[in-house]
Amino acid sequence: MQNIPPQLSTLPNTWFERNWKWVLSLLCVLGLLGIAGLVFLILTLLKSSDAYQGAISRVKNDPAAITALGSPIKEGLFFSGNINMSGSSGRADLAIPISGPKAKATAYVLATKSLGEWHFDHLIIQIDDTKLRIDISEKRGEQPNW
């Protein structure tokens, strides 16, 4: 019996033909990493905005929020909403998950930026379990400090 070598036409010829599965897998992984990196970058930029930071600062320093949630109050990793800015004006509409040792909640923020300063028109904390809503919005009718 004689050993017959496989025909050359049935063997993959190029490196890509031999390794296309690995290339495709690598491209998929790189694509997913790219998307995750983009989401992380966008969240980081939004979390560093004055509107987000101002809302979180108000929540963390509000006595009613501290009483309801406990201290320290921490914000969640993901949030929803948007921030639109144009020069010295803007608008923010955010829903930020927050939590403390006593409870979890969501901070709902509606803020406007006018003359370069953010005003928190509506800042409501809703406790997840009890649905209790705590309003820590800026006081209506308050005169600006000139």
Tokens representing residue 7 in the block: 């025909």
pLDDT tens string 26-82: 999 999 999 999 988 888 887 888 899 999 999 999 999 999 999 899 998 888 888
Lowest mean pLDDT among 9-13, 16-20, 34-38, 96-100: 9-13
Is the pTM above the cut of 0.75? no
Surface-to-core class of residue 109, CB atoms within 10 Å of its CB (0-12 exposed, 13-18 middle, 19+ buried): buried
DSSP per residue over 51-84, as a string? HHHHHHHHHHH-HHHHHHH-SS-EE-S--EEEEE
- For residue 139, what pLDDT band results from cuts at 50, 70 and 90? low
Q: What angle do CA 111, 59, 128 make, to 5 degrees?
A: 100
**Long-range interactions of 81-84: CB distance < 8 A, separation 24+:** 81/109, 83/46, 83/49, 83/51, 83/52
User: Bigger pLDDT: 124 or 144?
Assistant: 124
84: which residues sit within 8 A by CB, 6+ positions away?
90, 91, 92
Q: Which residue has the tokens 């290339």?
A: 23
